[in-house]
Amino acid sequence: MVMKHGIQPEDLYRLKSVSNPQVSPDGTEVVYVETCIDEKKNDYVSNLFYINLTEKNPLQWTFGDDKTNSPVWSSDGSKIAFVSTRTGKPQIFVLAKTGGEAKQVTHCKNGATSPVWSPCGKKIAFSVKLGKNEDIFDKAEDDKKEEKELKPLEVDNMKYKSDAAGFIDMDQYTHIAIVHLESGELEQVTTGSHHFHLDTWSPNGKYLTYLADLTEDIDFSFYNDIYLLDVETKQTRQLTEGAEMFYQTSWSPNSRYIAFLGSDREFENATQAKLWMYDMEQSNLTNVTSDFDAPVGDFVVGDFLQDVVAPRVQWMNDSHSFYFQVTDHGNAAIYFGNVAGEIYPAIHDNQYVYGFSLDSQNDKAIVAISTTTNPGDLFYVNLKTGEKEQLTKVNEEFLWSRILSVPEAIEFEGADGWKVSGWIMKPIGYEEGEKYPLILEIHGGPHAMYAHAYFNEFQILAAQGFAVLYTNPRGSHGYGQKFVDAVRGDYGGNDYQDLMAAVDYALEQYEFIDQDRLGVTGGSYGGFMTNWIVSHTNRFKAAVTQRSISNWISFYGVSDIGYYFTDWQIQAELDDIEKLWHHSPLKYVDNVQTPLLILHSEKDYRCPIEQAEQLFIALKHRKKETKFIRFPESNHELSRSGKPTLRMNRLEYIRDWFVKYL
């Protein structure tokens, strides 16, 4: 008999992700990406899988220990284009549905991504990065294998680094090219010293849409406009103009309407994304969800799934109706809409819809769903009736030998009488009448949302005997524009009160929680809030701060986003040092009595490691109980997509710190 137990950090190597389902044009087949971890390589491996929706038996289509993603069907359903690293840098390959070897169709020096089929199926547009004196004919195999010469980095712009890309080559730009599949001929369709981001090809074959910010002063520009590029004449036409950020275009089948997402940034990065529609016949732009108080798109925070691709608006064949994703009250849902202005939920259960692909003839879709006890699987869903059939069970066999804690949804009164939502998890092995320690988890962002979704870290803590409390305090997405904007200029104010109210509620409602054994942890904004909490109350007996902010004054100059994020969120710049310092946990370090573990990545450019260094030295200088863990070769995304061994180490450090002190 197999003894069941809870999730452990090393189980990360056993769990698999499924993502990015793509339904064939006739609605009878689906291709998707499955990702696992290769323990020997200490890296992620992803491959394409296929399901015939009549037989419903998953089959593996690509093999190997590389990364394969971005599958796209040709318009006749006979081929799949995808991106793979099997030859080194990511390149585009084409695989016939009937089988055989995939054919590599790009060999670009810096790789090729984002394949987009022409409607005729004879060409593929793609994105390519080109540096100074480089063109699309430079091949990857011509790259010298020897170690690159060390050179000084010349910096003229404030946007010279990013957490995702590291230091940015300011002479390298993203351009759009086309490969003609029969001849192999390459055609570059954009040029110049700006980034041009490929988006979609119109069904009538006339236009490519792309996104670009052509502002000269890129340091203070945070916008994206949508452009049409005439494939024949190469003439461009700007569809949007102004202080907006637009993305993810989607054409109606008759090529009349272009749906896309975006916002007017009225509340800077706290502005809810809306669904917009451009009518090519009338040449007018409409905000479809102007009266809809929820963000369109995916704003759920998690720590497990890989290669999640937020779905575009997807059209039915009538060119009148469509489906789209919405983040709302702890759920990521699918909504129905049409050009007449109707909007209503099609799927709005307690779950995280992290991807879907529409059968545009039958109001059905392949939907990627995560729940609190299922990391993620694909389901065949009737969008009219809500009926669904599970197609994949990638973690079922493994989870059969594990016990999962089932979160209970809660709602309580936060600051100013506002309603705040969250969840509480009992520890694995819970027994009536026993007392258990509680850990408060705080998400990053702050404009993100915990959801009815699987969270690996929480299950590991529950398996260790901890109760877990996680909430969506003000600043979180999914609860309306006023709610998400409320944190700006008030970091450590009513958001802190919301979190303390959550703990008070848990202690009042759940007798099994030991009020003398409370812990708190969080990352990014959640790390800032952990620092703030331990410097403003002694009610917690242990804390773990991750990729945190401790000093807004230095953050202004060292973060890749600091010089504008500080203004947007704290609503103060360097001419208001007093306010920046007022909101900095470092100011209150003398008050810290809670043993604090500090976790940070060496190459975190979002919340640079100097934030952790300052906090650690200040605490040690004052003889406080603390420890500092530095993760090599890792960035801000360590907990989600970092090296698997380091992700596991991180989980062990968190678990062991709370075991020691709680």
pLDDT tens-digit profile of 14-66? 999 999 999 999 999 999 999 999 999 999 999 999 999 999 999 999 999 99
Provide the percentage of residues in the chain whose pLDDT is more than 90: 93
536 is catalytic: no
Asked if pLDDT for residue 151 goes beyond 90, the answer is no
CA 414 – CA 471 distance, rounded (Å): 11
Of the pLDDT bands very low, low, confident and very high (cuts 50, 70, 90), residue 145 is low
According to DSSP H, which parts of 358-405 are helical? 396-399
The residue annotated as part of the active site, out of 524, 554, 559, 584, is 524
Dihedrals φ, ψ of 639, to 5°?
Answer: -70, -20
Q: Tens of pLDDT along 334-344?
A: 999 999 999 99
Q: Tens of pLDDT along 527-536?
A: 999 999 999 9
Q: Tens of pLDDT along 161-193?
A: 999 999 998 889 999 999 999 999 999 999 999
Asked if pLDDT for residue 597 goes beyond 70, the answer is yes
Tokens found for residue 471: 């909430």
Comparing C-alpha atoms, which of 341, 489, 494, 364 is closest to residue 416? 494
CA 432 – CA 434 distance, rounded (Å): 6
According to DSSP H, which parts of 322-373 are helical? none
Alpha-carbon dihedral sign for residues 524, 484, 164, 244: negative
- Give Cβ neighbours of residue 376 (< 8 Å, ≥ 6 apart): 17, 18, 19, 304, 305, 354, 368, 369, 370, 394, 454
CA 162 – CA 167 distance, rounded (Å): 7
Query: CB neighbours (10 Å) of residue 615?
Result: 28
Asked if pLDDT for residue 2 goes beyond 60, the answer is no
- Give Cβ neighbours of residue 232 (< 8 Å, ≥ 6 apart): 206
For residue 126, what are the CA distances in angstroms to 88, 310, 334, 347, 623? Answer: 18, 19, 28, 33, 56
Q: Tens of pLDDT along 231-259?
A: 999 999 999 987 689 999 999 999 999 99
432-436: long-range contacts, CB 8 A cutoff, minimum separation 24: 432/512, 433/512, 434/512, 435/512, 435/513, 435/514, 435/517, 436/465, 436/466, 436/467, 436/512, 436/513, 436/514, 436/517
Asked if pLDDT for residue 149 goes beyond 90, the answer is no
Is residue 442 a contact partner of residue 529, using CB atoms and an 8 Å limit? yes
Q: Provide the CA 406 distance to its chain's centre, in angstroms.
A: 24
Arch. (CATH architecture) of 399-661: 3-Layer(aba) Sandwich (3.40)
Task: Note the pLDDT of residue 499.
Answer: 98
Task: Note the pLDDT of residue 216.
Answer: 86
* Block residue for tokens 């054994």: 517
Average pLDDT over residues 275-280: 97
CA 466 – CA 425 distance, rounded (Å): 8
Average pLDDT over residues 402-430: 98
Locate the domains of the chain by residue range. 399-661
Of 133 and 129, more confident: 129
Peptide bond into 446 cis (omega under 30): yes
CA 270 – CA 268 distance, rounded (Å): 5
Alpha-carbon dihedral sign for residues 61, 33, 461, 629: positive
Tokens found for residue 569: 């969120």
- Give Cβ neighbours of residue 542 (< 8 Å, ≥ 6 apart): 519, 520, 594, 595, 597, 657, 658, 660, 661, 662
Average pLDDT over residues 356-385: 97
What kind and span of H or E run contains 621?
helix 610-621
Comparing C-alpha atoms, which of 513, 558, 548, 504 is closest to residue 528? 548
477 is catalytic: no
Average pLDDT over residues 518-545: 98
The residue annotated as part of the active site, out of 202, 535, 636, 639, is 636
Of the pLDDT bands very low, low, confident and very high (cuts 50, 70, 90), residue 1 is low
Task: Note the pLDDT of residue 142.
Answer: 46
Tokens found for residue 278: 């451009």
Asked if pLDDT for residue 635 goes beyond 50, the answer is yes
CA 478 – CA 326 distance, rounded (Å): 8
Asked if pLDDT for residue 143 goes beyond 90, the answer is no
CA 354 – CA 346 distance, rounded (Å): 15
Task: Note the pLDDT of residue 457.
Answer: 98
